[in-house]
A = this chain, B = another copy of it.
Amino acid sequence: MVIKGNIISADRFGEIRIIKNGYIVIKDEKIANLSDILPFEYKDDELIDYGNKLIFQAFSDMHLHAPQFPMLGMGYDLELLDWLNTYTFPTEAKFSNVEYAKKTYKVLAKELIKNGTTRVAMFSSLHKDSTLILMDELDKAGISGYVGKVNMDRNGGVDLEEDTDDSINDTIDWIKKSNFKNIRPIITPRFIPSCTPKLLKALGEIAEKYDLKIQSHLSENISEINLVKSLENVTEYYKAYEKYGLWNNKTLMAHCVHSSEEEIKSLRDNGVYVVHCASSNNNLTSGYARIRYLLNNGVKVVLGSDIAAGDKLSMFDNVVETIKASKARVIIGDNLAFLTPEEAFYLATSAANEFFGEKPGFAVGNKFNAIVLDDSDLLNTEKLSIKERFERMFYLREEDAIKVVYSNGKAVYNSKN
């Protein structure tokens, strides 16, 4: 299959590659060729011509909470720890009901695809069966990535706390039952205040034994950091993960708003990914993560919507939130440039490719994940450069601008359907 249009990819941080009226050849889910002239050998392949439309890389949302989806858009009046106890834990507790989970997660999967998010690293709730339902719904919708059954055996209240042994056994059972085409299990201690040392130790061992990736939260909020330091008797938050084998180059750590110099150094030296959640960090008044500084210091950064603490599921919107948060750092007085649309787009797409074993951009050999965008109803489209149209798509999209979404070489969303 060959796809034609104005192709835009984030090949390097800060630079987009534009191929006007270019061709992408897809073979068996993957990109076989990318060029401005269709090579002769593909001239008889089926061609889909998207004309003047824009073809973006699809997005990777590397931190979001599926069971918080029902509370999206509400309850942004508290800081992290109170917000968890007041709104979040009661909402997540409802996912003990598998019927409710199935109904809710079907909608979530559909919304993700509709917004051009084809890859995720996602938190489920602590419920094993509902987690398997979530994985199934995402897989069926055409989403790839990682889903974690959450572990929490302390500070969860009456309705959202596991017995330590049950938590460990359920995790192993869940891993064994996780047989999906494109969705894999990921070890997911909620965060240090939710997990006893015994549980954390077991999770580190399970991650190693089954060769699994790891995700959690780090240095989001000052009260949280102080709580962790007192609970685990550590000088730095990250050491509470490190000592249990939960700190390596397969680890995603959300937030890192208040990471110290020592923590930043350890993030870099261990190849841990920072998942930047700009919208959430503002909504819960956590602070503004120093993304430019982290990048300048060699830390890997990807983006997360962090719904429902973040209020925007669309990664187009989260690119804007990322730029806005970087401008907040400038306003605060950082002597570092804010992020450009090209840079934030890279973080929302190519920066996560390594986590999925791929190269940046629409590299040959990558699975084909893309969004076809129609901006013909906006003002003056014909007079603008592709680069201007690229920027505008983040800030201003007509309803129904996303026409087609491709995941692993297949059209999984079509606005006409």
Residues of A within 8 A of B (CB): 69-70, 72-77, 104, 107, 282-283, 285-288, 311-312, 320, 323-324, 327-328, 330-332, 338, 340, 379-380, 384, 388, 391-396, 399-400
Once the chains bind, are B72 and A395 in contact (CB under 8 Å)? yes
Q: In chain B, what residue has the closest Cβ to A103?
A: B379
Known: A76-B323, A311-B396, A395-B311. A285 touches B330 (CB 8 A): yes
Q: In chain B, what residue has the closest Cβ to A326?
A: B285
Q: In chain B, what residue has the closest Cβ to A321?
A: B324
Once the chains bind, are A282 and B324 in contact (CB under 8 Å)? yes
Which of B107, B338, B379 is in CB contact (< 8 Å) with A107?
Answer: B379
| A396 to B396 alpha-carbon distance, docked (Å) | 16
Once the chains bind, are A395 and B285 in contact (CB under 8 Å)? no
| A391 to B87 alpha-carbon distance, docked (Å) | 14
Once the chains bind, are B74 and A380 in contact (CB under 8 Å)? no
User: 9 A–B contact pairs at CB < 8 A?
Assistant: A72-B379, A73-B393, A74-B388, A74-B392, A74-B395, A282-B324, A285-B331, A286-B331, A311-B320
Once the chains bind, are A395 and B73 in contact (CB under 8 Å)? yes
Interface centre among A74, A331, A393, A400 (most CB of B within 10 A): A74
Once the chains bind, are B282 and A327 in contact (CB under 8 Å)? yes
Once the chains bind, are B396 and A72 in contact (CB under 8 Å)? yes
Q: In chain B, what residue has the closest Cβ to A77?
A: B340
| A209 to B393 alpha-carbon distance, docked (Å) | 46
Chain B nearest CB, measured from A13 CB (Å): 16
Once the chains bind, are A73 and B396 in contact (CB under 8 Å)? yes
Which of B73, B330, B394, B399 is in CB contact (< 8 Å) with A392?
Answer: B73
What are the residues of chain B within 8 A of A332 when measuring CB–CB?
A: 332
Once the chains bind, are A379 and B104 in contact (CB under 8 Å)? yes
Which of B70, B288, B379, B400 is in CB contact (< 8 Å) with A331?
Answer: B288
Chain B nearest CB, measured from A358 CB (Å): 29
Once the chains bind, are B380 and A70 in contact (CB under 8 Å)? yes
What are the residues of chain B within 8 A of A396 when measuring CB–CB?
A: 72-73, 311
What are the residues of chain B within 8 A of A331 when measuring CB–CB?
A: 282, 285-288, 328
Q: In chain B, what residue has the closest Cβ to A310?
A: B395
Once the chains bind, are A379 and B70 in contact (CB under 8 Å)? yes
| A102 to B288 alpha-carbon distance, docked (Å) | 43
What are the residues of chain B within 8 A of A312 when measuring CB–CB?
A: 395
Chain B nearest CB, measured from A292 CB (Å): 13
What are the residues of chain B within 8 A of A311 when measuring CB–CB?
A: 320, 395-396
Interface centre among A75, A107, A283, A384 (most CB of B within 10 A): A283
| A73 to B391 alpha-carbon distance, docked (Å) | 7
What are the residues of chain B within 8 A of A286 when measuring CB–CB?
A: 331
Chain B nearest CB, measured from A408 CB (Å): 27
Known: A69-B379, A72-B395, A379-B69. A285 touches B327 (CB 8 A): yes
Q: A282-B328, A286-B331 are in contact. List 9 more A-B contacts (CB 8 A).
A: A74-B384, A74-B388, A76-B323, A76-B395, A107-B379, A282-B324, A283-B327, A288-B331, A311-B395
Chain B nearest CB, measured from A392 CB (Å): 4
| A117 to B399 alpha-carbon distance, docked (Å) | 18
| A285 to B326 alpha-carbon distance, docked (Å) | 10
Chain B nearest CB, measured from A348 CB (Å): 17
What are the residues of chain B within 8 A of A399 when measuring CB–CB?
A: 399-400
Chain B nearest CB, measured from A378 CB (Å): 8
| A340 to B76 alpha-carbon distance, docked (Å) | 9
What are the residues of chain B within 8 A of A384 when measuring CB–CB?
A: 74
Q: In chain B, what residue has the closest Cβ to A286?
A: B331
What are the residues of chain B within 8 A of A75 when measuring CB–CB?
A: 391
